[in-house]
Amino acid sequence: MMLADHAQVADGKLFISGGGWTACAPGAAPCAVAVIFHVPWQETNKKVSFSLRLIDEDGTPVTQPGATDGLPVVVNGSFEPRRPAAVAPGTEISVPMSFNIVLHLEPSKRYSWVLDVDGRTDDSWRLSFETRAQAQAAPGMRV
């Protein structure tokens, strides 16, 4: 998994712009989570369910404003990786995905994207980042 400004999948490849950041500005901030699922050969042709959720430094689900305020930031989905005919038996199958969202975050806080796959999670399936402190106006200036 990787944080980026923008990511998309095309032709089975992941295209990433502004990738690898660990800090962003507070307020409205574009965020993409780029993920490559590595599926063992023996697990192909089976449905894989996942959940990607955003939590704060206390482990509380992060909510965002919108049509219905207070909705948690979460992506639920599934996919069924197929065994391509031209791939040798035993080959691991890669399934790239990207999720783009504009987050509205508080300054000076830590957040983490947490990935669950088929109800399991792992510490390595977590992406943490922080928001910078609110910018201070120069003396005599209005903000």
User: For the segment 31-87, what is each residue's pLDDT rounded down to a tens digit?
Assistant: 999 999 999 999 999 999 999 999 999 999 999 876 566 789 999 999 999 988 888
* Predicted structure pTM score: 0.87
Contact of 129 with 62, CB cutoff 8 Å: no
What does DSSP assign to residue 66? S
Sheet strands side by side (includes 120-131): 23-24, 120-131, 110-117, 48-56, 74-79
Which regions of 2-143 does DSSP assign to beta strands (E)? Answer: 2-4, 6-10, 13-17, 23-24, 27-39, 48-56, 63-64, 71-72, 74-79, 93-105, 110-117, 120-131
All structural domains of the chain: 2-131 (2.60.40.10)
User: Could you read off the pLDDT of 81-111 as tens digits, one per residue?
Assistant: 998 888 899 999 999 999 999 999 999 999 9
